[in-house]
Amino acid sequence: MEYKALIKKFESKGASFIDLRILDQTSEVVSTENGNVNSMQDLSSRQFGVRIFYKGAWGFAYTNDVSKLEDSFSKAFKLAKISSAKKDVFKINNVPINKASVKQKGKSMLSVPIEDKINLFLNIQKKFNLDFIKNKNVGASFSRREQQYFNSFGSNVFESREYFNVLISITGLKNGKVKRSFERIGEVGGHGQFRKLKFDGIAKALEDKLKTEFIAGIPPAGKFPLVIDNVLTHVFFHEAVGHACEADSIIEKSSVLAGKLGEKIAPDFLNLYDTPKIKNEHGYYAYDDEGVKSKRTILIKNGILTNYLHSLETANKLNMKPTGNGRAESAFQVQIPRMSNTVLEKGDFKFDELFEGIKKGIYAKDSLGGVVEPTTGNFLFNSRSAFLIENGKVTKPLQGVSFGGNILNILPKIDKIGDDKKVSYGGWRCGKNGQMVPVGGAAPHIKISEAMVGGAK
């Protein structure tokens, strides 16, 4: 039975909304270590995901066998009927109708012979010449995602995207100490985008970082002025603010930002938005996994919280417009509100001006991750490297530091935003409810007047 006929069949049974995703994924993973091929892997799959809304409740089912697709429709409908007696009733009627076909242009990295990729990675390893380097790893994954989306309101959207994710790592042994330096690069794009990567510069920067690791001192602990770089700023706003703006957490009242629309939560000069439209960044897409066209969604404007990030469900529950943030890791999982690319708009301060007036402080760079408790807004972040600030100057290298606090207390303490906004291209993936999706962002340096700082372990 054709897909449209299946949708009509279950509409006639009383379903008020139905959508179907058909997802084809192909990927290749290549890893090299110390001049040898470490591993190779090729994967491909076809997935079908069916979601049915009936009398205020959802049913969801999936399969990888097209011959069992009608069974999946039946299962989803049955689950929706069972759930309808247990759920608060709401309607799905605010659904943008889109028809589009978006295909990535250019040569695919999956068409490049695997031998060429192996030779490239082995040649990158040869660029590392420090005698205390004991381990060299260079690897990458290349993937293509092609999805066809249908719904009962009339949307019919096809989109294909390719991703590449590169990881380069070196480990050194010196005076009995072991240190590691690594770089991740992840983008949406094919061969034309991949060939723009400047591996000579990446290798040189990694060696410089590794040398610095061996002379870095122990950071001080306590409350200090803090300057954080582009990458750490992006990760900070993604974790501490972006997740709290995802509308399912607002509905569940598990977000510190619930009920705060229209309130001032940050300085007047701070502007934050979510956008899937940054070309080649990891969180790029033209349409979300509910067929909604991507758009920029302003979250904080002039310090005021202005919006949340919505799927079709949360938008209809809160009587708001969908924002194009209904996303899922695969067709085997249901769509939920997720960030795309989190962007802090640039400010007016030059790099050197961020450090002016700091008698003693910390300059923290890059991210080793962190934790956020969205209900309370408490957070802890770790940097990969750091430097002491003394009398307005960046001086001694430090081991990576951690900084923590509460998001509603720390946002007003941002007193300078740099003019050097940069896109991350870090190949970030974000986990939530058991799903991982590609995300990214852009940010400038920022200065926080005071933050609790300690040594990262």
For 450, the domain range is 222-455
Q: Give the pLDDT confidence of 356-377 residue by residue, as tens digits.
A: 999 999 999 999 888 889 899 9
- Same domain as 370, residue 418: yes
What is the pLDDT of the chain when averaged over all its residues? 95
Residue 128 sits in a domain of what CATH number? 3.30.2290.10
- Same domain as 339, residue 206: no
- Same domain as 443, residue 414: yes
Entry pTM? 0.95
Amino acid at 190: G
Q: Give the pLDDT confidence of 88-134 residue by residue, as tens digits.
A: 678 888 899 999 999 999 999 999 999 999 999 999 999 999 999 99
Within 10 Å of residue 270's Cβ, how many Cβ atoms? 21
Q: Give the pLDDT confidence of 284-340 residue by residue, as tens digits.
A: 999 999 999 999 999 999 999 999 999 999 999 999 999 999 999 999 999 999 999
- Same domain as 29, residue 163: yes
User: In b/e form, how buried is each residue of 200-236, taking b as 16+ CB within 10 angstroms?
Assistant: eebbeebbebbbebeebeebeeeebbbbbbbbbbbbb
- Same domain as 248, residue 106: no
- Same domain as 241, residue 135: no
Number of domains in the chain: 2
Q: Give the pLDDT confidence of 249-286 residue by residue, as tens digits.
A: 999 999 999 999 999 999 999 999 999 999 999 999 99
pLDDT attached to residue 87: 61
- Same domain as 211, residue 271: no
The residue among 171, 197, 215 that closes a domain is: 215
- Same domain as 12, residue 79: yes
- Same domain as 300, residue 208: no
- Same domain as 241, residue 188: no
The residue among 193, 215, 237 that closes a domain is: 215
- Same domain as 229, residue 300: yes
